[in-house]
Amino acid sequence: MRNKFFLSIIVIVFFASCKKSFLDKVPPSSLTSEIFFKTASDFNLATIGIYDVLQGRSYSESSWALMEMSTDNTYTNAPAGAFGEIWYQVEEFRVLQDNAHLNNQWQFSYRAIGRANTVINRIANVQFAQTLKDQYEGEALFLRASMYFNLVRLFGDVPIVLEEQSVLNSFRISRQPVADVYRQIISDLTAADIKLPLAYTGNDIGRATRGAAKAMLGKVYLTQKNYTEAAAKLREVIALGRYNLLPNIVDVFRASNANHAESIFEIQFKAGQGADREGSNFVEGMAPATQRINAMYVLGTPTTGQGNGVVTRELFDAFSPTDTRRNATIGRIGSGPSEVFFQRKYATPTAIFLDAEDNFTVLRYSDVLLMLAEALNEQTFGSVDAFRAINDVRRRAGLTDLNSGTTPTQQVFRNALLNERRFEFAFENQRWFDLLRFDQAIPILTSKGLSIRAFNVLFPVPLRERLLAGLSQNSGY
């Protein structure tokens, strides 16, 4: 049975009126955080309010644009004009400092960080059950670390804000070195790993768990090329015994099967909530602008797609014809010159436009296996466990095993891993970060005709933040 937790109107009112992060210069009303935080229920609502940022359309669209549309997996065919231009800028690596995707990713990430800071800073001063205090603080730490992990990989040096901010202090921030940001991320995730529960029941299913903290920490270590710590943390996830690969890849993305045994953390969405709009917008947003939604998806609305995530023919052709992930991941419609490809991972729209039931996967068990294979290969080529981990994922896809004969060197194994990750995690906001981690963004994207330059491995700091707080700009912009 599918279970989700959702934001009540109280949380919306509270976070719209209480003290904000430094990006929201709105004076507080009479309902302040000092008055609000009295009980465990108050902290529960405040913690759920952090997740609410992740559900927002502005945050999800900016994440998709910067982490997936910037790669060789997708392109845009949105109509020309102001709305389409912000997508074309990302796809063509000519992003301007006032691009709305930059603003939204930065602003909403720090909004989530601000909400997390409020929970973390205040929870020690209120008396209620320690197990609940640990849970809520652990969730806030995990979500704060997740926001910073994305920010540092997208923008490089970013402000580290760990306290609630006054309007005056919000203008006194500065960018901190990448190493310091990672140090804070690791600190937060290490603490979350201790505080978070292993699992939830009922309507709490979908909240961050200890397994999610361990898996995220493993990915952080891997990104830093600390392969020993990465492998150790990823083995801890496996040792929990709570996760396994689903036999059929289609079931991984079936909306009615959300929060399954392969899922470690996914952003929760729920269709049909009326004005609250807790549904996702992935289906219509990613579908080709030249096609009717109901021609591609069974329950689709009779509108056309928005064109911001059209699948490249090159990706479709890159799959082995025997790879079961190809048809589970990509559909095609039309023929000849008019043939276009579309994603199938998020494929359950309702009759309400931009209000679908699909969750968005952040971490799943196949990611843990492939990250472990990567960490082990970088330590010593030929690891039996590295081959076992990648082959577990390949077998589920109907592919033959790799071995020292087919994959004779560390570099060949590394290339095989990057390809495997592309096929396994297409449209899950992993490709851009994978290309960066493997130091392949420029060579691969250049070879496919994309005009990426060395400085494009970081996005520009949004103009709005530079004007408000005097932040410095990344080189090249």
If DSSP codes are grouped into helix, strand and coil, which group holds residue 87? Answer: helix
Share of the chain above pLDDT 70, in %: 91
Share of the chain above pLDDT 90, in %: 83
Residues 161-180, mean pLDDT to the nearest whole number? 83
Q: What is the pLDDT of residues 263-301, one digit of tens each?
A: 999 999 998 887 667 899 999 999 999 999 999 998 788
Q: What is the pLDDT of residue 167?
A: 56
* Dihedral sign of CA atoms 33, 36, 38, 40 in order: negative
Q: What is the pLDDT of residues 399-421, one digit of tens each?
A: 999 999 999 999 999 999 999 99
* pLDDT of 165 above 50: yes
Which of 77-86, 96-105, 193-202, 371-380 has the lowest average pLDDT? Answer: 77-86
Note the pTM of the prediction, 2 decimals: 0.93
Confidence of residue 1 (pLDDT cuts 50, 70, 90): very low
Q: What is the pLDDT of residue 352?
A: 84
Q: What is the DSSP string of 310-344?
A: EEPHHHHHHS-TT-HHHHHHEEEES-GGG-EEEE-
SS (H, E, C) 143-183: HHHHHHHHHHHHHCCECCCCCCCCCCHHHCCCCECHHHHHH
Tokens found for residue 95: 């992003």
Ordered by start, the domain boundaries in the chain are 274-360
Q: What is the pLDDT of residue 256?
A: 93
Q: What is the pLDDT of residue 274?
A: 73
**CA dihedral of 317, 323, 324, 329, whole degrees rounded to 10:** -30
Q: What is the pLDDT of residues 122-136, one digit of tens each?
A: 999 999 999 999 999
How far is it, in rounded angstroms, from Cα 49 to Cα 287? 30
Q: What is the pLDDT of residue 288?
A: 96
Q: How many CB atoms lie within 10 A of CB 385?
A: 14
Q: How many CB atoms lie within 10 A of CB 443?
A: 12
* pLDDT of 35 above 80: no
Q: What is the pLDDT of residue 329?
A: 97
* pLDDT of 24 above 70: no
